[in-house]
């Protein structure tokens, strides 16, 4: 009998600009996803499990490790899931939950694909997600450095004058003091034994930013994409990524038969080297990553 089963695969990243010393967090996340696949769960459940693990880790800019907004108080998080079976859910500017990725998964079961702000938080409460607010010491330190840098001439964000954040300031309290933090994101792409593909991504956004800022992570085709030929997750500076619909552009290249490594490289080559960019992807037969910065990753396949 012809064997139509696929070789399960999981690939996780911890953000372009992240430290390779944190790679054990990606390995742990990939193990969570592979355990889900080995229990018979599908690609979407596995990608979600990986991102939950990354959100809970505290070292990555997502979930419990999310960066602080410029007011030193607010945490706004974005997350998204998508699979090759058509499931799609996302949240943007979500506050007060532990695992935004699980709220994004819950959105995929509604008539909508994206909920944001207060509506997303209210939705989370109706689905039983308890209020949660935690800021890691790493995020507090980053915030102190950021405020200090905003008061200098050294641009905290690529190609943006620090004064722009003062000029358009939209927080309740006035700016008191603000360091450039990479707008890193966590993400996972998976392939299950049936040949389904899925992607999940989560971020605390970029710092510095205005209140209500949304990058690429919850925007379909920009920060993530999955279809019958594979799945792609993107990390880096959202304002630039969205202009290239990067995840869908790379997906289309893979769907057109381009070797995965070349598709990723061509995606990366679209950007000025000063802009942090990272990509991971899985196809029917391949999996790989590319970044112009250090980027922690972990790849796991089931060869049984």
Of 238 and 267, which CB lies nearer to ligand GLY in the complex structure?
Answer: 238
DSSP assignment, residue 131? P
For 168, other C-beta atoms within 10 Å of its C-beta total 9
75, 68 Cβ separation under 8 angstroms: yes
217, 203 Cβ separation under 8 angstroms: yes
Q: How far is the CB of 112 from ligand GLY (least distance, A)?
A: 21
Structure token digits, residue 215: 């990058």
DSSP assignment, residue 152? S
Of 224 and 251, which CB lies nearer to ligand GLY in the complex structure?
Answer: 224
Q: How far is the CB of 223 from ligand GLY (least distance, A)?
A: 6
Q: How far is the CB of 74 from ligand GLY (least distance, A)?
A: 15
Phi, psi (deg, nearest 5) at residue 138: -60, -40
Q: In whole angstroms, what is the distance from residue 189 CA to residue 60 CA?
A: 17
Sites of contact with ligand GLY (CB under 6 A): 183, 185, 203, 205-206, 215-217, 235-238
Q: For 265-295, give one letter per residue: b (16+ CB within 10 A) or e.
A: eebbeebeeebbbbbbbbbeebbbbbbbbbb
Residues linked to residue 9 through DSSP beta bridges, in sequence order:
191, 301
Q: How far is the CB of 291 from ligand GLY (least distance, A)?
A: 12
Burial class, 34, CB count within 10 angstroms (exposed 0-12 / middle 13-18 / buried 19+): buried
Of 270 and 284, which CB lies nearer to ligand GLY in the complex structure?
Answer: 270
DSSP assignment, residue 24? H
Active-site residue identified among 53, 157, 181, 185: 185
Structure token digits, residue 171: 């927080």
204, 65 Cβ separation under 8 angstroms: yes
Quick one: which of 229, 238, 249, 219 has its CA closest to 277?
238
Q: How far is the CB of 176 from ligand GLY (least distance, A)?
A: 24
Check if 301 is active-site: no
Of 8 and 17, which CB lies nearer to ligand GLY in the complex structure?
Answer: 17
Of 178 and 234, which CB lies nearer to ligand GLY in the complex structure?
Answer: 234
Which residues are marked as active site? Answer: 185
């Amino acid at each position: 009998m012809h064997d139509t089963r696929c070789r399960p695969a999981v690939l996780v990243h911890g953000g372009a600009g992240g430290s390779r010393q944190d790679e054990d967090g990606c390995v742990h996340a990939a193990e969570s996803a592979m355990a889900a696949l080995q229990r018979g769960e599908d690609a979407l459940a596995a990608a979600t499990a990986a991102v939950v693990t990354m959100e809970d880790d505290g070292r990555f800019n997502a979930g419990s490790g999310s960066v602080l907004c410029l007011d030193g108080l607010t945490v706004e998080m974005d997350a998204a899931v998508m699979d090759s079976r058509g499931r799609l859910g996302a949240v943007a500017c979500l506050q007060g939950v532990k695992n935004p990725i699980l709220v994004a998964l819950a959105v995929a079961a509604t008539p909508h694909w994206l909920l944001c702000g207060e509506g997303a938080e209210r939705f989370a409460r109706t689905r039983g997600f308890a209020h949660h607010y935690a800021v890691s010491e790493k995020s507090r330190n980053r915030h102190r450095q950021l405020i200090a840098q905003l008061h200098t001439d050294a641009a905290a964000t690529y190609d943006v004058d620090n004064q722009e954040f003062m000029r358009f300031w939209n927080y309740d309290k006035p700016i008191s003091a603000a360091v450039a933090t990479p707008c890193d994101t966590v993400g996972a792409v998976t392939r299950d034994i049936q040949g389904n593909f899925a992607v999940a991504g989560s971020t605390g956004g970029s710092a510095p930013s205005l209140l209500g800022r949304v990058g690429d992570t919850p925007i379909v085709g920009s920060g993530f994409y999955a279809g019958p030929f594979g799945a792609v997750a993107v990390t880096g500076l959202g304002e630039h990524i969205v202009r290239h619909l990067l995840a869908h552009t790379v997906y289309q290249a893979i769907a057109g038969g381009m070797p995965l490594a070349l598709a990723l490289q061509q995606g990366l080559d679209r950007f000025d080297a000063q802009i942090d960019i990272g990509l991971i992807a899985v196809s029917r037969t391949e999996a790989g990553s590319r970044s112009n910065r250090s980027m922690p990753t972990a790849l796991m396949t089931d060869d049984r």
